[in-house]
Amino acid sequence: MRSSQLDLVFSALADPTRRGMLERLAEGETNVGTLAAPHDMSQPAVSKHLRVLERAGLIQRTRHGREHRIRVDPRPIEAASTWIEHYTRFWKQQFDAVDAYLEARAKQTHPPQRSKERRKR
């Protein structure tokens, strides 16, 4: 049941409705109604999406009279961003190496069948 912060952030971002809300919030803080307007769904559904974003720490809410002002907190996303950026470096390296290998092999007239059979590790 334990979900790490990264889990919560990534799964919050995995829904187009919630990404839409975050995109809207890039324009500035608003109330729930404004956030809900573009999305064709019931008000409680919107409320649930906001709770997901809130549990991931992606938004902050300030009650202001009867309306709730919502604003983005970009900090949890940076954890996600950092994770991606970190590993992307290695992945690209990996990917490019394989890419180069495949390209090189394609150039040979008789591609060796078993050349990859014995690899280190």
Q: Can you list the pairs that 22-28 forms with residues at least 24 positions away whose Cβ atoms lie under 8 Å?
A: 22/53, 22/58, 22/59, 22/72, 25/59, 25/70, 25/71, 25/72, 26/72
Residue identified by tokens 């992945």 is 91
String of contacts with a second copy for each residue 53-72, x by CB under 8 A: -----------x------xx
Q: 63 Cβ partners below 8 Å, 6+ apart? A: 69
Task: State the residue for tokens 């809300």.
Answer: 21
**Binding flags for DNA, 30-69, as an x/- string (CB under 7 A):** -xxx--x----xxxxxxxxxxxx--------x---xxxx-
- Which residues contact DNA (rule: CB under 7 A)? 1, 11, 14-15, 17, 31-33, 36, 41-52, 61, 65-68
- Which residues contact a second copy (rule: CB under 8 A)? 4, 6-7, 10-11, 13-16, 19, 22-23, 25-30, 64, 71-75, 77-78, 80-81, 83-85, 87-88, 90-92, 94-95, 98, 116-117, 121
